[in-house]
Structure 1
Amino acid sequence: MTVVPYRAAPDTASWPHCDGALPGGAECRGRRVEPHTACLAHLPGDERSAYLAGLRPGADLDHRGTRFTEELLSELLTALTEPSTHRPRIGQARFERATFCGDVRFDLVEFDADAVFDGAKIAGDISFNQAEISGRSLFRQVKIGGNGSFDRMKVRRRVVFERAEIDGNAWFDRMNVGGRAVFDGAKIGRDACFTGMEIGGYFSFDQVGLGGDARFDRAHVSGSASFRGLRVGGQVSFPGAAFEGAALIGPMVCGRTLNLSEAVFGGAVTMEAAAAAVRCRRTRWASTAALRLRYAAVDLSDAVVEYPLSITARSRPFIVDGEELDESGLMDAGVRVMSLRGVDAAHLVLTSVDLTECLFAGTIHLDQLRLEGRYTLAAAPSGLRRRGMRPVRWTPRRTLAEEHHWRAARGWGADGWTPAPRGEEVQEPAALAPVYRQLRKAFEDGKHEPGR
């Protein structure tokens, strides 16, 4: 069968309209089922039965603007089911501006060409689990009143959810797209899950708004990726994700943690984010990367830095399309680096960050760390203190957080030394002495003046 590619008409409402009426008397905008003058929903019983009986698996469908009940959709898919596979098979499917009164289930459906749902309205849930689409999958400006489930959906060419609205959760687990995947401007009321997603080309998540969490665990994007203007009320997580091309993460706002742990970035990365925390444990940077952050507590434990990586505290809000991103709900604690343990600091540059709580012991090539701008280290308690009958005076100086932990563990916490966080191993002086020496060399090589 020769498949004619879908091309949107200049006026998608120009199809021949049904002569029926919707509940309440409104004119029906459903497309006529030729040679009749009514859409599928308004065909009389015998004419509808004849139309469905005449369908064969792989037939093209054009039901733009049609109002579907769950029963009517089920009858349509049953008529298109292959006896050998028990899976419905459709040629080109056009459901632009269709209305689905209940749940919509296209599970296991095979589309030989494009599947077009632009402007459709779904009152309940929508499900495309294990559906296979040989052409494009277009869901632009779709409105979904419930949840959306697209688990293991396979699209040969590209999938587009531009400006789609999903009131509930959205699941795209193990979705496989041969080409581009575009979600620009989509709004998801609760959580979105893209675990195990495979994108063969470009992935765009620009200007997406999420009320809950966004999970991209073990996602694999072969092309470049963009998350510009992303707004997430909860956390964003990429554990084990792999981006082969360049990645633009942000400017974005994450109400909780931006988790990049164990992610692999094969191309250049620019990340601009306002987040409560940024977790980069065992993250691998296989190309240059620039992280410009606000508010975040940053954990770089055991990160693999193969090329220059810069982390900079940004003083002003991010601007997208001329407007500042809404950062309400984030506490202005400044950008704090919490751990460099296990990191090779030879390619690392930190600018204007707070190192008061940073764990340095175990950092490789710490003497080659570059510190720029204004930064803060933990301060020793100052003034005269009394321990029993003996007065003790602490000299004001910059210290490691680990020295605070060791002295507090020896009973000097009342003097102002900060105890170690629960579960954190306390380092002995023998382990801290070389850390001080390497940091001192880093300061000297960077021509930092005392007290800076």
Structure 2
Amino acid sequence: MIDVMTPHTPPQVEPPDWHHCASGANSSDPVGCRGVVVASYGRCLSHLDTDEKNTYLSTLSPGDDLDLRATDLSESLLDEVLSEFYDPTLRRKRFGEVDFTETTIEGDANFSQSQFDGEATFYLTRFLGSAKFNDTKFQKYISFEAATFLNGSFFGRAEFMSESYFGNLEFKSTAGFGNAIFRGHTYFFDLSFQEDGYFANATFLGPLEFTGCTAKDVVDFSNAAFHSTPKLGPLIASGPVDFSLATFEAPIEIEVASTEVTFRRTRWKSKATVRLRYAKVDLSEAFFEYPVAVTMKADRFQKDSGNVMREAFHPSLTPSVRLTSVRGVDAAHLVLTDLDLSSCIFSGAFHLDQIRMEGECTYSRTPHGVRRQGLRPTRWTPRRTIAEEHFWRARNHASGISAWRGWTTPGLSVQPSTPSVLSATYRQLRKSLEDGKNEPDAADFYYGEMEMRRHDKSRPHGERTLLWIYWITSGYGLRASRALGWLLLAVIATMVSLVLWGIPNDTKDLASTGRIAGSRLTLTSEKPDPAALKVPYSERVTTERFEKALQVTLNSVIFRSSGQDLTPQGIYIEMFSRLSEPVLLGLSVLAVRGRVKR
């Protein structure tokens, strides 16, 4: 350090009279020189007259130490001091060890294009103007602990070669670390960003500890590179947090509570766990080389000390995390846990059949209640759907018709997928759930797959007709109530048809007639003609005929023949019943099995 009592002072310069800085003369000065003996020129710089100041400035040269602790500095005075450290060879200001502990800088502090060869301490420093450290190189330890930045701090393209401490400090305005390079161990802890925090294109080559920080606006890590960051967060941000195009080289845990978190085209080159709260998350075109888990954190985040972090979100918001897109993602390494997937765009992702959806993931639902399409009432079957089906139905059907209301309308920038694409998406998601032994939820995705195949006009008309029959009779083998309803109708129709046209007049097996000629008796037995149904309709509806029709029908349901004599019409009625009713019964059993299968 430069001290007036050391031989560093040029011999031809007489030390000024410092009696006015001694104890007693300025004992009330809160930031000036304290103690019986003044330690250095610099620490009393704000109390020097012009000649004394010039004498002090003449002792400074590039590469010297600078001690301005507990000093009030105006912008002009600081500029005069810093200009003495300009090295024309390097074309930048060069410092040795620097200490600005408890210093107050009233105007802008321009340290841009500087080089700190020694340790630099800005502990409890108050920057009342903007603090500019653009293109600055810190060769050794640097500390900004408990500092205050009132009007912006700028570290663009700065290079930190050793340990860097930014802790327990407050950025009242924009904090910019764009394109900065951190080569040593870097600490960002207990920070408060009152406005934007920019780390775009920053490179963290050494370990980074970014924890216990809060922000009231944007926090931008876009295109940043994290080479050795075991944990990033907790970070509580009222505005968006952007990790677009960022790269994570090592295993990492990310903990963020924010209304919007973007990982668009982010690259994870190792495994990662992302815990979020309140966020709307975009994973479009993200790249995973190892498993990456994205999950909703149910409890509030805690600092390393164990203290729970305060969240200042609107009371109407819930901590649920809503995933909006996995378009362009290779989902083979993606694990989603306890997320809201009701608005997620799955189309365009790869290996969706290998994605893992665990916990209580929620999906969009079909519209509720009975609606009217013309004079015909319509009710959508309750089931889980993906957002793309909502978009397709809302865009391709008349939204003014009551039956089609309730389907989510896509935004102007969203192009609805075609039924062929949606059927493939449903098929892959179904397989993923089936592989995870989640058969009941997979059944809803199978229903969606069949719906899209039925509406796909590129498929043959015959196939679509069969799918329509499959849908109307049993909901693709997934709606037991529908199949049972049709079975009940078929049983009733069969019984009524048999009573009216299928049961013959007489049910006796044989009819005998006799004739007596002399002493000889002749008997003739004849089987009644089943076709001889000549009973009036008013006499056909009897309890006896209904009982016989019920026996025939119930035997038909289980593929058995009743052995009952029937009219020719009744034979065909029984044949149709033995064909259709067991199928409907089987579909009912299949639908129940699809809902309870484990």
* TM-score calculated relative to the size of structure 2: 0.64
Q: Does 1:237 align with 2:220?
A: yes
Decide which of 316, 320, 326 is 1:340's aligned counterpart: 326
Residue 313 of structure 2 aligns with an amino acid whose one-letter code is: G
CA 1:348–1:57 in 2, change beyond 3 Å: closer, same or farther? closer
Contact kept in structure 1, 2:75 and 2:109, CA below 8 Å: no
Does the 8 Å contact 1:123/1:146 carry over to 2? yes
Which of these residues, 354, 357, 367, is aligned with residue 340 of structure 2?
A: 354
- 2:184 corresponds to which of 201, 217, 242: 201
User: Size of the alignment, in residue pairs?
Assistant: 415
Instruction: Measure, in 2, the Cα distance between the counterparts of 1:363 and 1:186.
Output: 42
* Cα distance in 2, alignment partners of residues 70 and 214 from structure 1: 25
Distance 2:208 2:59 in 1: 45
Name the CA distance, whole Å, in 2 between partners of 1:329 and 1:220: 31
Question: Which of the pair has more CA radius of gyration?
Answer: 2
* Alpha-carbon distance change, 52 to 310 in structure 1, aligned in 2, over 3 angstroms: closer
Aligned-residue offset at 1:39: 3.8
Pick one of 407, 413, 419 that aligns with 2:393.
407
- Taking a change above 3 Å as real, the CA distance of residues 313 and 172 of structure 1, as seen in their structure-2 partners, is same
1:102 is aligned to none
SS of equivalent residue, structure 1 residue 246: strand
- Range with bigger deviation, 72-81 or 270-279: 72-81
Correspondence 1:189 to 2:181: no
* Aligned partners of 2:86 and 2:94 also within 8 Å: no
Amino acid at match of 1:441: K
Q: How far is the alpha carbon of 1:25 from its aligned partner?
A: 6.4
Q: Aligned partners of 1:276 and 1:52: how far apart in 2?
A: 52
1:149 aligned to which of 132, 137, 140: 132
Once the 2 structures are TM-superposed, how far is the Cα of residue 52 of structure 1 from its aligned partner?
4.1
Give matches, 1:227-266, under 5 Å.
227-266=210-249
Distance 1:376 1:85, change over 3 A: same
Determine the C-alpha separation between the residues in 1 that align with 2:382 and 2:292: 32
**SS of equivalent residue, structure 2 residue 361:** coil
For residues 24-423 of structure 1, the aligned pairs below 5 Å read: 28-29=32-33, 39-43=44-48, 46-53=51-58, 55-77=60-82, 84=88, 108-111=92-95, 113-320=96-303, 321-330=305-314, 331-332=317-318, 334-413=320-399, 414-423=404-413
Letter in 2 for 1:312: T
Instruction: Indicate conservation of the 8 Å contact 1:349/1:371, yes or no.
Output: yes
Contact 2:75 2:106 in 1 (8 A): no
One-letter amino acid of the structure 2 residue matched with residue 251 of structure 1: P
User: Are the structure 2 counterparts of residues 44 and 428 from structure 1 closer, same or farther at C-alpha, using a change threshold of 3 Å?
Assistant: closer
SS in 1 for 2:350: coil
1:18 to 18, 21, 34: 21
Deviates more, 1:21-30 or 1:386-395: 21-30
Q: Note closer, same or farther for the CA distance 1:397–1:156 as it changes in structure 2 (3 Å cut).
A: same
State the SS of the aligned residue for 1:222. Answer: strand
Shift of 1:169: 1.5
Deviations 1:422-442 (A, max 9, x none): 210110101010111111111
SS in 2 for 1:223: strand
Q: Using the TM superposition, give the Cα deviation of residue 60 of structure 1 relative to its aligned residue in structure 2, in angstroms.
A: 4.2
Write the distance in 1 (CA, Å) between the matches of 2:29 and 2:103: 21
Other structure's SS at 2:21 match: coil
* Aligned counterparts of 1:26 and 1:375: Cα–Cα separation in 2: 60
Note the C-alpha offset of 1:364: 0.8
- Highest RCO, 1 vs 2 (Cα 8 Å, sep ≥ 6): 1
Question: Distance in 1 between the 2:409 and 2:346 partners?
Answer: 16
How far apart are the structure 2 equivalents of 1:392 and 1:162?
66
User: Cα deviation per residue 1:16-74 (whole Å; 9 max; x = unaligned)?
Assistant: 993285597669416967899x9444456555544544555544444544444445445
**Alpha-carbon offset, residue 393 of structure 1:** 3.0
Residue 224 of structure 1: how far off its partner (Å): 1.7
SS in 1 for 2:240: strand
Matched, 1:424 2:414: yes
1:278 maps to amino acid: V
Q: What letter corresponds to residue 384 of structure 1 in structure 2?
A: V
C-alpha separation between the residues in 1 aligned to 2:29 and 2:355?
73
Instruction: Find the residue that maps to 1:367 and give its secondary structure.
Output: helix
Shift of 1:201: 1.6
Label 1:416 to 1:144 Cα distance change in 2 as closer, same or farther (>3 A): same
Q: Give the counterpart of 1:446 among 436, 451, 458.
A: 436
Structure-1 residue corresponding to 2:583: none
Report the Cα distance in structure 1 between the residues aligned to 2:327 and 2:45, rounded to whole angstroms: 65
Question: Which residue pairs with 1:5 in the alignment?
Answer: none
Return 255-264 or 392-401, whichever deviates more: 392-401
Deviation at residue 221 of structure 1 after TM alignment: 0.8
Distance 1:209 1:17, change over 3 A: farther
Distance 1:78 1:393 in 2: 79
Residues 395 and 154 of structure 1: CA distance in aligned 2, closer, same or farther (over 3 Å): same
Partner Cα distance (1:412, 1:118) in 2? 70
- Following the alignment from structure 1 to structure 2, what is the Cα–Cα distance between the partners of residues 383 and 75? 77
Residue identity (%): 38
Structure 2 letter corresponding to 1:350: L
1:434 matched residue in structure 2: 424
Structure 2 letter corresponding to 1:336: R
Contact 1:200 1:221 in 2 (8 A): yes
Moved more, 298-307 or 73-82: 73-82
- Cα deviation, 1:64-92, whole Å, max 9, x if unaligned, reads 4444444544554555555x5596xxxxx
SS of 2:360's equivalent in the other structure is coil
- CA separation in 1, counterparts of 2:20 and 2:322? 61
Name the aligned partner's letter for residue 255 of structure 1.
S
As a proportion of its length, which structure holds more strand? 1
Contact 1:30 1:63 in 2 (8 A): no
Amino acid at match of 2:219: V
CA deviation string 1:323-373 (max 9, x = no partner) = 221211242261111111111111111111111011111111111111111
Residues 289 and 309 in structure 1, CA contact (< 8 A), matched pair in contact too: yes
- Residue 276 of structure 2 aligns with an amino acid whose one-letter code is L
1: CA distance, partners of 2:285 / 2:341: 17
- Between the aligned partners of 1:49 and 1:382, the Cα distance in structure 2 is 83
Q: 2:310 is matched by which residue type in structure 1?
A: D
| Counterpart AA for 2:33 | R
Contact 2:20 2:26 in 1 (8 A): no
State how far apart, in whole Å, the 2-side matches of 1:35 and 1:283 are: 52
- What's the C-alpha RMSD, in Å, of the aligned pairs? 2.8
Secondary structure, counterpart of 1:282 in structure 2: coil
Output one character per residue of 1:156-176: Cα deviation in whole Å (capped at 9) or x when no partner: 123211111112221111111
Q: Mark the runs of 5 or more structure 2 residues left unpaired by the alignment.
A: 1-18, 443-598
Do the aligned partners of residues 67 and 404 (structure 1) sit closer, same or farther apart at CA in structure 2, a change above 3 Å counting?
closer
CA distance in 1, matches of 2:283, 2:70: 52
